[in-house]
Amino acid sequence: MSLVPYDPFRQLANIRKEFERLFSTLPVAFNWENSPFHQINIDIHESDTEVIAICDLPGIENKEDLHIHVEDELLSIGGTIHTMHEVKKESMYRQERYSGSFHRTVTLPSPVSGENIKAVYKNGVLEVRMVKTSKKKKRRIDIDFN
Profile the chain (146 residues) by mean pLDDT over runs of 10 residues.
Answer: 70 77 61 57 94 92 92 90 70 72 91 90 95 74 84
Pairing of strands 118-122, 143-145: parallel
Please tell me the predicted confidence (pLDDT) of residue 69. 93
Please tell me the predicted confidence (pLDDT) of residue 131. 93
Please tell me the predicted confidence (pLDDT) of residue 28. 53
Please tell me the predicted confidence (pLDDT) of residue 78. 92
* Cα–Cα distance measured from residue 70 to residue 57, given in angstroms and rounded to the nearest whole number: 18
* Cα–Cα distance measured from residue 119 to residue 42, given in angstroms and rounded to the nearest whole number: 14
Give Cα 62 distance to the centre of its chain: 17
CATH hierarchy code of domain 39-145? 2.60.40.790
* Cα–Cα distance measured from residue 122 to residue 111, given in angstroms and rounded to the nearest whole number: 26
Please tell me the predicted confidence (pLDDT) of residue 145. 86
Please tell me the predicted confidence (pLDDT) of residue 128. 97
3-state percent helix, strand, coil for the chain, nearest multiple of 5: 15, 35, 45
Beta strands in 1-146 (DSSP E): 42-46, 50-56, 66-71, 74-81, 100-107, 118-122, 125-131, 138-140, 143-145
- C-alpha separations of 28 from 12, 22, 93, 94 in Å: 23, 12, 6, 5
